[in-house]
Amino acid sequence: MKNLIMLLFLLQGSIAFGQTSFENKKLALMNDIFYKTTRQDINSFMKDKGFKKGEVEEGEGDVKEILAFDSQFDMIEISYGKDNKISTIVCIFAGAINTAFIEMEIKNKGYSAKVVKQTIDGQPVNKNIWSKSGAKFNFITYADEKEKIGVLGYGVY
């Protein structure tokens, strides 16, 4: 009986504190970057995923530095805080229509969206900030039909 109780306790802990797995490649990549890399191994990890090392920029405020990586269709920016931990990840990808598929998966994982209206380059845009009860980090999605790009972010928004 004690073994059964211990097993149930461990299972409950792994469900409550385990990270979410995603089917969408962009969501899965961002999840892997956030939870499976360190500042020391990010360059080799991104190279293995088909990205070229880009620029390293000095950050402002709570952000120590920003690393940019490019692939044939995607650009990823990773912001590191003063503690060398990732604070946010932003992926800009080709194909604004792909944003709808990403948003469906985020919604299916229990996140709900709040629409935020902003102006970018003089154009009004609607960004979706996806949150989930008990989750420390949020997703942000945005599709630019004119430029034919999508934006996916993960972090504190």
Give mean pLDDT, residues 10-37: 75
99-119 burial, b at 16+ Cβ within 10 Å, e below that, comes to beebbebbeeeebebeeeeee
Of 86, 94, 97, which Cα lies nearest the Cα of 30?
Answer: 86
Give the 3-state secondary structure of residue 151: strand
Mean pLDDT across the chain, nearest whole number? 87
- pTM here is 0.83
Half-sphere exposure (Cβ direction) of 69: Cα atoms closer than 13 Å? 22
Cα 49 to Cα 43, 96, 140, 145: the distances in Å are 10, 22, 22, 27
Name the least confident of 11-25, 53-67, 93-107, 117-131: 11-25
pLDDT of residue 4: 42
pLDDT of residue 112: 97
